[in-house]
Amino acid sequence: MFPHRTLSFLVLVIFAVEKCSAFTPVYSNLLRRIDNIGALTEEQKSRILNANSDGLEKVKMKQDCMALNRNANKSSGIYVIQPKGHKPLVVYCLMDTPGKGWVVLQHVSKKSNTSFARSWDIYEHTFGDLENDHWLGNEYINWITQQARYEVRFLIDTGFKKVEIDYVSFNIENGTNKYKLRLGAPISGSQDEKVLMINKNDNMLFSTIDQDNDKDQNQNCAQVVGGGWWFNTCSSVVFNNQQIRWPGICDNCQSATILIRRTFANCK
């Protein structure tokens, strides 16, 4: 027979072990291999749609959301992907939007509780909530967009209507090149001045509150606006702050999202 105090201690130890063992050892090992796993809550870790308790060997690892969608993953949510030559990542895949298989790079809303006034190092990796307002991370965006050709969709909620603007290609260079933005042309071939406003951000280096790489000679636009972005001038298109702006469409938009998808034309 155990003394009463000993039994109480054993109960506490068993409870602590069970509490710390919410995931199987194999599943926990999978989570440790995901480079941006720290972006997920414990509850979200249990809801990675293409992962299971059998671990990485049973996970259908694909390079992006398009590949997952073609492999019968049809529900939107958090998935683990593995860009070619890199560690696994968790991303939010939008599977039920026309076109399907979109990676959500960013989402921000006017009433966001997530601050986008972050440093260069923070912007390199995932911050925020993948199911809500977040930034996937410049390093990870580079990993994804360098493996194939990706089209981009900018979603803008003006408060009165929802606007979609699609461009044929989107990628960013690596950190050595300051994550320079590379955009193609509008998919529609539109010459609408409003649609083309994002062209001013094309070929721009990324700027943050502690790294000024914009074209404005008098001020750091990331500090002025309160968020990191591919600034040309401080009045160009910007999503990463609470005063979301796309000149000609809305100067104080309700929300904005950036989606990318591997194009069918790419054979890589």
What CATH number is attached to the domain comprising 119? 3.90.215.10
Supply the pLDDT for residue 18.
39
- 61 versus 155: the higher-pLDDT residue is 155
Which residues contact residue 51 at a Cβ distance below 8 angstroms, ignoring those fewer than 6 apart? 27, 30, 59, 80
Residue 173 placed within a domain: yes
Residue 97 placed within a domain: yes
- pLDDT tens across 214-255, in order? 999 999 999 999 999 999 999 999 999 878 999 999 999 999
What's the CA dihedral at 155, 129, 179, 230 to 10 degrees? 50
Supply the pLDDT for residue 59.
67
Supply the pLDDT for residue 23.
83
Query: How many structural domains is the chain composed of?
Result: 1
| Position 17 pLDDT exceeds 70 | no
**pTM (2 d.p.):** 0.89
Residue 245 belongs to domain spanning: 60-262
Supply the pLDDT for residue 188.
77
**Residues of the chain with pLDDT > 90: what percent?**
74
Residue 23 placed within a domain: no
| Position 55 pLDDT exceeds 80 | no
CA pair distance 70, 86, nearest whole angstrom: 21
Residue 88 placed within a domain: yes
| Position 61 pLDDT exceeds 90 | no
Residue 54 placed within a domain: no
Which residues contact residue 1 at a Cβ distance below 8 angstroms, ignoring those fewer than 6 apart? none
Mean pLDDT for the stretch of residues 156-160: 96
Q: Is the Cβ–Cβ distance between 133 and 114 less than 8 Å?
A: yes
Look up residue 256 and give its two tokens. 């904005």
Which phi and psi (to 5°) does residue 63 adopt? -80, -20
Residue 190 placed within a domain: yes
Which amino acid is it at 227? G
Angstrom distances, CA of residue 181 to CA of 99, 151, 232, 240: 23, 13, 11, 15
Mean pLDDT for the stretch of residues 159-178: 97
Mean pLDDT for the stretch of residues 116-122: 98
Supply the pLDDT for residue 54.
58
